[in-house]
Amino acid sequence: MLSEVRIGPFGEAHALLSKVLGNIVAHPDEAKYRTLKKSNAKIGALLAVSGVKALLIGVGFTEESEAFMLPAELGPAGCAAGLAGLNAQADERQSAESSAKLQAASELQKKQAVEAEKRKLEKLQIQDDAEARKQPGWRAKAAGVKGGRDIVTPSDIGACGNAGG
């Protein structure tokens, strides 16, 4: 379920869960790390994130009326496994994000290369046209008509002043 959580809430949940589970792994005999009070603002916000309750129950916590408790007989192995899974998921998200950025950059680079090629071709066409206009005897011709009439007046291209309106 945590894998479906958006990046922002996951980052906040990851930081707090890493601290909570890391404290239990580092200090397995400390009772204060084995109780998570629901009335605590940070724990309440953490529990609001989808998948956090499932993770806590998965590592061995039991849900009481006002707190989540990790029984003393359970060692830190479950918390260590949960912490490892959580860190693996964070690494996976980070690598997916970086690969998406690389792909987007690659697509942008390809698009820019195509646009540069189009501009280069247009410049060449403009230069060719400019050279052709410098040739003696060049005259404007109706576009697309092979051996077409010379354009002499505006009416030759359909630009009449009064169209009968």
Per-residue model confidence (pLDDT) at position 3: 54
pTM of the entire structure? 0.55
Q: For 102-128, what is each residue's pLDDT tens digit?
A: 999 999 999 999 999 999 999 999 998
Q: For 15-66, what is each residue's pLDDT tens digit?
A: 888 888 888 888 888 888 888 888 888 888 888 887 888 888 888 888 888 8
Per-residue model confidence (pLDDT) at position 142: 59
Per-residue model confidence (pLDDT) at position 121: 95
Instruction: Supply the mean pLDDT for the chain.
Output: 81
pLDDT higher than threshold 60 for residue 1: no
Range name among 2-16, 90-104, 143-157 with the lowest pLDDT average: 143-157
* Domain chopping of the chain, boundaries: 2-104
Mean pLDDT of 143-153: 63
pLDDT higher than threshold 80 for residue 157: no
- Label each residue of the chain as H, E or C: CHHHCCHHHHHHHHHHHHHHHHHHHHCCCCHHHHEEECCCHHHHHHHCCCCHHHHHHHHCCEECCCEEECCCCCCCHHHHHHHHHHHHHHHHHHHHHHHHHHHHHHHHHHHHHHHHHHHHHHHHHHHHHHHHHHCCCCCCECCCCCCCCECCCHHHHCCCCCCCC
Per-residue model confidence (pLDDT) at position 16: 86
Domain 2-104: assigned CATH number:
1.20.58.2190
* Cα–Cα dist 91/141, whole Å: 66
1, 50 Cβ separation under 8 angstroms? yes
* Cα–Cα dist 148/136, whole Å: 18
What percent of the chain clears pLDDT 90, i.e. is strictly above it?
16
Per-residue model confidence (pLDDT) at position 108: 95
